[in-house]
Structure 1
Amino acid sequence: MLIMSTKIYFLVAVLATASFLSLASAASVASYDYIIVGGGACGLALANRLSENIRYSVLVIERGGFVLENPLVYDTTAYGAAFGTPIDYAYKSSPQTYMGDKVETLGAGKALGGTTTINGMSYTRAEAVQIDAWQRIGNWGWTWESLVPYYKKNEDFQVPTPAQYSAGANYNPLYHGKAGPLLVGWTYDMQNSTVHTELKRTYEHLGIPYLPDVNGGKMHGYSMFARTVNRAENVREDAARAYYYPVASTPNLAVMLNTSGNRIIWANQTGTFGPAVASGVEVTLRDGTIETITATKEVILSAGSLISPAILEQSGVGNPAVLAKHSIPLVVNLTTVGENLQDQINTELIYGSNVSYIGQGTYLGDPTASDLFGSNTTNVANEVKKNLADYAAQVSAASNGRDYERRHLALPLPGPVGHHFRESHPHRRDPRHAPGQQLPHRPTINPNYMMLGWDMQQQIGSGKFIRNLFNTAPMSEYTTGESTPGYNTLPADATDDQWASWINSASRANFHLVGTAAMMPRDMGGVVDTNLMVYGTANVRVVDASVFPFQVCGHLMSTLYAVAERAADIIKGENYVGLFVRRLYGMSKDALEMWLGYADEVEMGILLFICVTYWITVLSIIFYSHVR
């Protein structure tokens, strides 16, 4: 055991040394092929994959620091302990009008690894229909089927042990990958199997089926989900542990910690000679020094749904009216930057227990609308449909008309609602903007929680369902009564108004922010295209949760990794032949962009050979016809 511990600490020392060597080289080199702003899930996954090609130099700019040995990060039982500490941005919302002017705190990781260093480590993918909806609104090729290979590519799934099986862990081998960098599984200290059995039977009594594995594209049911953990070492598997530390000594990969990415520097402005071309990034170092680092190929924003759009706005990409108000010169007119913000609200019912449970439980129940509203489901659905136009108008008005009504009218009706007692599909769409000429790390945030009636209906329905769950055998036999909110606060026959009042006072933000640089057609309010390139620019991409056009009911993290893996393949594809073929052979961008995500180097070479051969033949015919 002593030998194993020594080996682990030696590895930590090596990785730490490699990290600081990268920092030193980053400070001394003024130019990189790719500059990635943000060292979270997407930023580090991209950096890892792009640096696989030794010809390209990659720099990651991260405002946080090095937290490999921070127990608030690596301890798998310490969820929540890092909130409000120096490694949590703890952003504050503006007073929430529809929740009694409450100011919500929105957690986000300020560290190498981003929010994966402080989140709940849940590994639950989106529903298939939710990803398929991305294509239905115009993102050709972005479907569940096309994203599954990337879900698997990032994953190194740890098969449950016999003891973990008996405690409720289960999986379908067809759903998971084994060769990726990200360890996914369960820790050894799972709760005893009694809890799983009780919950499973209780859910089944309520008509909710048992779901062995939640990651197959359908979430309806009760299951025990896996987490991003290293079972052997019993530590959190954050993005840095998975994607950075193992390759930290790679000579073409550098990281600048405690460094803020302020704005993009442009070689030209849109309309001068075509799209705006980024030439670098302005940064602020830890000591306050401001420097510019050159990007010879691309600038990629992976700073999250709050900061990526703020950096775009500080760089002159956004709504002219917003930018003019803060004297920011306009580079690209893109009115929906920072709009479409979506987050969920999280509420909790707490019950006392007459037995002791030891260990960690990862139980998840996903009921449908029919499970929540029963015989009243049709009436609820009809009410939502009837109000969609009004909801869209409210959202459009809240965003000063920049968020198009037709986009909201096209939204699919919500699917499952999370067991964590949160709305899985908020209908509201809200603004988030950078505050004037300040650096973009304290944006103005107004999620407008509970602005629309359906948002509250989901929460009320979920609350009633959970109360019923704990009053249903066999779970009811193991509880000693409800402590939060308790029947004195919220009676058994409470009205919806009473439920709404309690939910507004007891809820908190869920920190699953998406949508502020949405991937969708530009005329629908999109900020990036299907290659994640910012409209009106030639070499600026956004790769993080801000590009998700809709909220998903699974945890964001697994889908973030998958999107980053796919983005890396898109970029690699364009490096080899994509742009050349588009110009030389005349292939349409739409026809090419999906293929680029899948073609390997051999396929690229074959296509290039065909194209070159074709044009040599054409030019030869033209030449000889003129000679004759």
Structure 2
Amino acid sequence: MALAIFLASLCFYTLLLPAGGLLILPDDTTELLLPSYDYIVVGGGVSGLVVANRLSEDTDVTVLVLEAGELDSSAGIVTVPGLIGHGFPPAYNWNFTTTPQAFLDNKTRDYGQGHVVGGGSILNGMVTTRGARADYDAWQALGNPGWGWQDMLPYFKKTERFSVDVSPERARTLHINPDPSVHGTDGPLEVTYPNFLYNQSLNFLRGLSELGVPLLADPNAGVAAGAMIAPASMSASNQSRMDSRRAYLDPVLHRPNLHLAVQQTVTRVLIGTNGTANIVAPPFGRLVRAYGVEYTASAESSRQKIFCSKEVILAAGAIISPALLQVSGIGPADLLDELNVTVKVDLPGVGQNFQDHPTVGVFYNYTKPGLSSTRNLTGDTLMRAKEEYFTNRTGPWTTPLITTIAFPHLTHLTATTNSTSSFLNLLTNTTIFTSLTHLPPTTTRHPALVRGYTAQLTLLLSTLLTDPAVGALEIMADSLGTLTVSSSLSSSRARGRRRRLMNIALDPRYCSHPADCALLVRGVGFSRRLVGATEAMGELEPEEEEEGVAWTEEVVEEMVKGRVQTEFHASGTTAMMPVDLGGVVGSRLVVHGTANVRVVDAGVMPLVVGAHIQAAVYAVAEKVCFVVVVVSI
């Protein structure tokens, strides 16, 4: 109860807007919006704010960001690391719901997405991991020159202001020793380590070492398979969340050429033909061109139009961006006909190839006397934690819910289970042909989509799952006793489609490929072995949530299917791949068949990286800004 009171009342930032900045509220759009801008950015989340910041560095261009949400109020549940993870503020959440999940338990799942300036960076757990070198080399192998690990590294560094404010003794104990050559120190986004960690973090790392999982000194140097204390997107000086708004928007909103209109939902991109140049672009013929967008303050409000001279840049996320393309006439012709939308570009991949990290929580109770955890933050202890945080920015409230994680390689899992043969056989027998039977019908009716999935699965099976630097699973440990298991490399593919204004049929099709649930089952078995069979975790005196249950493979599989949730890593729906592989954007992130529509959010990932995706989204946006500004179309 005390925690709830503080969550409701806490606010330690005063909402300040830079003097001279043009923040346009709904009642002021008619008066303050220009009739036309050079660039219109749809969505003020991570990628949208990066792009707006970089484009508006050129004082000769005008940039408009249209964001459906509002500015956050900087309440503690958003900014204080120790309070993050205890629920999404409803006002900042799109509150999507999936369709019933036929391959799980036929029940829907809540699917939160950022509906606020700053997008998902206002709501996420702040974990900053990049994934493995092989994740990005796989992007390049799918027909995207210039998107491998070495190509992305400069942009990871460009976004970061990385620091390690950890004592030598603590760094040595927790194996924190980042490689400075792969980090930036003067970027907009602060990334650091919290100054407080619960003792259970060390038990978790030691337990994983007992099971043969290596400890990584730096999880962001290209090797992901291992266990680590993960850095967080937080301020080193005041130990609070550092999101894209505070990193990329607030410092530059004084620029007269940058406008931000909040609580404005874009309803479609205005598409015409390219009348200025006869650009031949097989198989589309002449390219179509965006000349603006339509937007509205609400479903009941009238729709307005605003125009642009250069580009429309979609940064609305992997769920909304493809839906906007569909209602604008860019997408699978059969779907657009069904929606009664005139086809401007027949592009089957729009809204297909949906990927996520399916996640299952396994709960334990650590009963060691005197053990401190988030569970103990009540009454006087809570008051002391609050006072310590606001007085000198130390103590339990400086640590996010998740700081200690592992990405075990496939061999770590199979070496610690008694029944590995069926899982190994499943992977061995996961041929391209049999996998195609697990795709949605909307995919299999398009040969290009089948070719694209075949190329993806080939990389998953022949490269990513066999690379010792790539984790097959993620295990996240919090101080409460929860070990959250998620699949890092998913074989399932899904789709989303627009029905009406922000009403989107979202079907992740979790475990539609049986290898995904099989992997999660092995992950749960691995977590139980970690807790029950290692000396380090035994010191915590853990109690299993369901004592006496016969944890057969069948029982665990049923439990997994009832618990699978999203890790909020929606991606892939506007995939960066060639047209003949079912791609939606090319290597410059321009939508195929268009002259000036780009997508810059997580939807462009052809394969979701085996990590938390915010670092990759920041880097993608930084990289495409170089393309827009320096190698302009």
TM-score scaled by length of structure 1: 0.85
Alignment equivalent of 1:448, drawn from 495, 499, 509 = 509
Pairwise CA distance, 1:180: 0.3
Q: Matches of 2:290 and 2:442 in 1, distance apart?
A: 32
Cα distance change of structure 1 residues 126 and 383 upon mapping to structure 2, 3 Å threshold = same
Q: Which residue of 552, 557, 570 maps to 2:614?
A: 557
Q: Deviations over 1:198-225 (max 9, x none)?
A: 2222111111111111001111111100
Distance change (3 Å), C-alpha of 1:9 and 1:371: closer
Deviation (angstroms), 1:380: 3.8
Displacement of 1:20 in angstroms is 3.0
**Conserved in 2, the CA contact under 8 Å of 1:84 and 1:90?**
no
Aligned counterparts of 2:353 and 2:301: Cα–Cα separation in 1: 33
Please give the alpha-carbon distance, in whole angstroms, between the structure 1 residues aligned to 2:120 and 2:242.
Answer: 12
The unaligned stretches of length 5 or more in structure 2 are 1-10, 374-395, 477-484
The correspondence of residues 48-447 of structure 1 with structure 2, limited to 5 A, is 48-83=53-88, 85-162=90-167, 165=171, 168=174, 169-188=176-195, 190-192=196-198, 194-268=199-273, 274-285=286-297, 288-353=301-366, 354=368, 355-358=370-373, 359=396, 360=399, 362-374=403-415, 380-388=423-431, 389-395=433-439, 397=441, 399=443, 401-402=445-446, 404-410=449-455, 411=457, 412-413=460-461, 414=465, 415-416=470-471, 417-420=473-476, 421-435=485-499, 438-439=500-501, 441-447=502-508
1:75 Cα deviation from its structure 2 partner: 2.0
For residues 138 and 110 of structure 2, the distance between their equivalents in structure 1, rounded to whole angstroms, comes to: 30
Instruction: Name the SS for the 1:115 alignment partner.
Output: helix
Larger CA deviation: 351-360 vs 503-512: 351-360
User: Relative to 1, partners in 2 of residues 1:17 and 1:71: Cα closer, same or farther, differing over 3 Å?
Assistant: farther
Which of these residues, 533, 537, 542, is aligned with residue 599 of structure 2? 542
CA distance in 2, matches of 1:574, 1:212: 37
- Equivalent-residue separation in structure 2 for 1:10 and 1:516 (angstroms): 36
2:578 to 517, 521, 545: 521
1:462 aligns with 2:462: no
Instruction: Report SS of the residue matched to 2:415.
Output: helix
- Aligned mates of 2:178, 2:193 — CA distance in 1: 11
* TM-score (ref. length: structure 2): 0.84
The residue number in structure 1 matching 2:537 is 475
Distance 1:512 1:10, change over 3 A: closer
Q: Shift in Å at residue 159 of structure 1?
A: 1.8
What secondary structure does 2:152 align onto?
Answer: helix
| Rounded Cα–Cα distance in structure 2 between residues aligned with 1:229 and 1:261 | 31
How far does residue 73 in structure 1 lie from its aligned partner after superposition?
A: 1.6
SS of the residue corresponding to residue 273 of structure 2 reads coil
Larger radius of gyration: 1
Please tell me whether the aligned partners of residues 25 and 263 of structure 2 are also in contact (alpha carbons under 8 angstroms).
no
Q: CA deviation at 1:351?
A: 1.5
**Does the aligned pair in 1 maintain the 2:22–2:258 contact within 8 Å?**
no
Structure with a larger share of its residues in helix: 1
Q: CA deviation at 1:9?
A: 8.8
Which of 227-236 and 138-147 deviates more? 227-236
More displaced stretch, 507-516 vs 44-53: 507-516
Q: Cα distance, 1:469 vs. partner? A: 0.5
Structure 1 residue 137, shift from structure 2 partner: 1.4
With 84-93 and 112-121 compared, the bigger mean Cα shift is at: 84-93
**Separation in 2, partners of 1:531, 1:76:** 36
- Name the amino acid aligned to 2:34: V
What is the identity, as a one-letter code, of the residue corresponding to 1:372? L
AA aligned opposite 2:190:
L
Letter paired with 1:406? R
Deviation at 1:70, TM superposition (A): 2.8
Q: CA deviation at 1:396?
A: 5.1
Q: CA deviation at 1:387?
A: 2.5
Within 1, Cα distance between the matches of 2:214 and 2:495? Answer: 38
Aligned residues between the structures? 559
**Contact 1:470 1:479 survives alignment (8 Å):** no
CA distance in 2, matches of 1:542, 1:316: 15
Distance 1:139 1:379 in 2: 35
Q: Which runs of 5+ in 1 are unaligned?
A: 1-7, 580-628
Q: In structure 1, what is the Cα distance between the partners aligned to 2:430 and 2:203?
A: 40
Contact 2:166 2:193 in 1 (8 A): no
Q: How far apart, CA to CA, are the structure 2 residues paired with 1:117 and 1:479?
A: 35
Which of 1, 4, 13 pairs up with 2:16?
13
Contact 1:391-1:428 within 8 A present in 2 as well? no
Contact 2:14 2:74 in 1 (8 A): no
**Maintained 8 Å contact 1:170/1:224:** no
Q: Deviations over 1:59-88 (max 9, x none)?
A: 111000011423322121222344261211
Displacement of 1:379 in angstroms is 6.6
Provide Cα deviations, 1:217-275, integer angstroms capped at 9, x if missing partner.
11111110011011322221111011000101111111010000111112327999820
Of residues 341-350 and 455-464 in structure 1, the stretch that sits farther from structure 2 once superposed is 341-350
Q: 2:626 aligns with which of 569, 573, 578?
A: 569
Partner of 2:557: 500
Structure-2 separation of matches of 1:474 and 1:273: 64
Deviates more, 1:9-18 or 1:524-533: 9-18
- The percentage of counterpart residues that share the same residue type is 30
